[in-house]
Amino acid sequence: MAVTVSLSILIPVYNWDIGPLLTRLHSQCLQLSEGLQVEIIVMDDGSREKYANASVAGQLPLVRYEESGVNRGRAKIRNELLQQAKGDYVLFLDADMLPDQDNFIQTYLEKGREGCEIVCGGISYLQNKEDHPQFSFYLYKSRRTEALPPSVRRTIPWRYLFTSNIMVRRDILKSTHFDSRFTGYGFEDIEWGVRLGDLFAISHIDNSCSHMGVMSKEQVFAKMRDSIHNYALLLSLHPSQTGHTGAGGIARVFRNFPDILLRGGDNLLSRLFHGLSWNWLLFYIFQCDKAVLLARELKKESKDGLS
């Protein structure tokens, strides 16, 4: 007789040591009540840097580990992980996360028994002790936009649906895949969240993971610039939800400006961002430049559509 798996933990990996996460998850799973079955599936998405991930996974009976020779992107790799999942619920975790509570897995399983459809545990930096100045902007920005309490996240449930720490009933995932048109960095989880929010109840609870991966100010800025195409795709797919707030709302105003002015604004904002060090000011410069770049992308796509 086949064993019923209650929860599938799916972890895509790219250039990260997942040993600490796997050992902590595996320890919690072994302490679960009898009859609660869990599987952990890890898929390396063409990492360039090599760690002992395969060796660590091989020592943990509940873990199944695979490697890909090419990088397929965040949306495709999650869809592929989902194809292998057997659990009634699926828990997506990013490789650079660490559960904050010893009952992290148990808490999610309890929410599953209550019949919850989608459960977001949240992000924190409780265990991240990084204090190097080059990472201070990233931590400042993340604490303002992502590491938020459930009371804030519940105000716009789909907006704070992060695939770094989220449990979803598997039949929902089977019917609502990640959109593979989102390639590279950013916004595939928010777009997915918009579609889920239209159909299902999204719950936000306090069951956080500490985000251990940090980036320098320059890396954050480069990632933002790399994500603009995906942001424009998000706006085109869900204009009513995403086109009137944040950088999206500002970009719709900026797109009426001449491109030469937008290009000059981008150059000025870029120099200010790299030259200044006050995080509160850098945050507003960062958001403004994102809107400028998004406006340029929208203008370009509008022009291409007419040609």
CA trace torsion 130, 132, 133, 136 (10° rounding): -10
- Starting from the edge strand earliest in sequence, which strands make up the sheet with 123-124, in order? 97-99, 209-211, 123-124
Ramachandran region, residue 235 (left: φ > 0; alpha: ψ -120 to 50; beta: rest): alpha
Distance between CA 196 and CA 158 in Å, rounded? 8
b or e along 150-171 (b: 16 or more beta carbons within 10 Å of the residue's beta carbon)? beebeeebbbbbbbbbbbbbbe
Q: Where are the domains positioned within the chain?
A: 7-211, 219-306
Distance between CA 138 and CA 221 in Å, rounded? 10
Q: Quote the tokens at residue 278.
A: 């006050």
- The gap from C-alpha 229 to its chain's centroid, in whole angstroms, comes to 17
Report which DSSP code applies to 157: T
What local confidence, expressed as pLDDT, does residue 306 receive?
A: 46
Distance between CA 225 and CA 219 in Å, rounded? 10
| Cα diameter, the chain | 68
Burial class for 206, CB neighbours closer than 10 Å (0-12, 13-18, 19+)? middle
| Long-range contacts (CB closer than 8 Å, 24 or more residues apart) made by 278-281 | 279/136, 279/137, 279/140, 279/141, 280/140
What local confidence, expressed as pLDDT, does residue 154 receive?
A: 95
Contact residues for 207 (Cβ-Cβ < 8 A; gap 6+): 101, 104, 107, 108, 119, 121, 122, 165
Place of tokens 């995906």: 230
Indicate yes or no: pTM above 0.75. Answer: yes
The yes/no answer on whether domain 7-211 falls in CATH 3.40.50.450 is: no
What local confidence, expressed as pLDDT, does residue 83 receive?
A: 87
Per-residue pLDDT of the chain (307 residues; tens, 9 = 90+): 445 568 999 999 988 999 999 999 999 998 887 656 899 999 988 888 878 888 999 999 899 998 887 777 777 888 888 888 999 999 999 999 999 999 999 999 999 989 999 999 999 999 999 889 999 999 999 999 999 999 999 999 998 988 899 999 999 988 888 887 887 777 888 888 899 988 999 999 999 999 999 999 999 999 999 999 999 999 888 888 877 777 888 998 898 999 999 999 999 999 999 999 999 999 999 999 999 999 999 988 776 654 4
Q: What angle do CA 251, 255, 257 make, to 5 degrees?
A: 125
Distance between CA 286 and CA 74 in Å, rounded? 24
- The gap from C-alpha 13 to its chain's centroid, in whole angstroms, comes to 13
